[in-house]
Amino acid sequence: VGFVSEDEYLEIQGITREQSGDYECSASNDVAAPVVRRVRVTVNYPPYISEAKGTGVPVGQKGTLQCEASAVPSAEFQWYKDDKRLIEGKKGVKVENRPFLSKLIFFNVSEHDYGNYTCVASNKLGHTNASLTLFGPGAVSEVSNGSWRRAGCTWLLPLLILHLLLKF
């Protein structure tokens, strides 16, 4: 893909996150050899949950719910159970957050742990969420066959993208 500009700057209309990367700028005239510089273009965008995994775990075993989100800047994660935010350090539960992945780890699953959980991924451009289920053996669940369900404001992402495009 090439862009040509006669000015001192280049404006890329409607840039997408897939267009992030390294670009070369070449300046030339009839007097000297061309000058080439590389520039890295970063496209910021709100979180998008690419994968959310629930799981079935017997009582007394270790279980993990995980939520993966793509975002620039990186997403921050929060976990909820039945609309109540889970606080780090709850006995027997640990949250492991990485820039694009969050895990909710249960070290010794009890009946009380079973239920619906919500992973919320957010950055300064927006947020999204996904529902996951921790269930016992033999329970019927949407995530038991490996599929997942996303919830949230699906209308919000196109609105945010439109807003960002109008700013550029």
Q: Would you state the pLDDT for residue 167?
A: 54
150-167 mean pLDDT: 47
User: Does residue 34 register a pLDDT over 50?
Assistant: yes
Give the separation between CA 120 and CA 86, rounded to whole angstroms: 11
**pLDDT at residue number 104:** 95
DSSP state, residue 16: -
Strand 84-85 to strand 76-81: parallel, antiparallel, or no bridges (unpaired)?
Answer: antiparallel
pLDDT at 12 over 90: no
* pLDDT tens, position by position, 106-143: 999 999 999 999 999 999 999 999 999 999 876 644 43
Contact 106, 134 (CB under 8 A): yes
Reply yes or no on whether the pLDDT at 150 is more than 60.
no
Give the C-alpha separation, 39 to 154, whole Å: 33
What is the per-residue pLDDT for 96? Answer: 94
pTM score of the predicted model: 0.70
Rg of the chain on CA atoms, in Å: 22
Q: In angstroms, rounded to a whole number, what is the distance separating the alpha carbons of residues 135 and 100?
A: 25
When pLDDT is averaged across residues 35-58 and rounded to a whole number, the result is 92
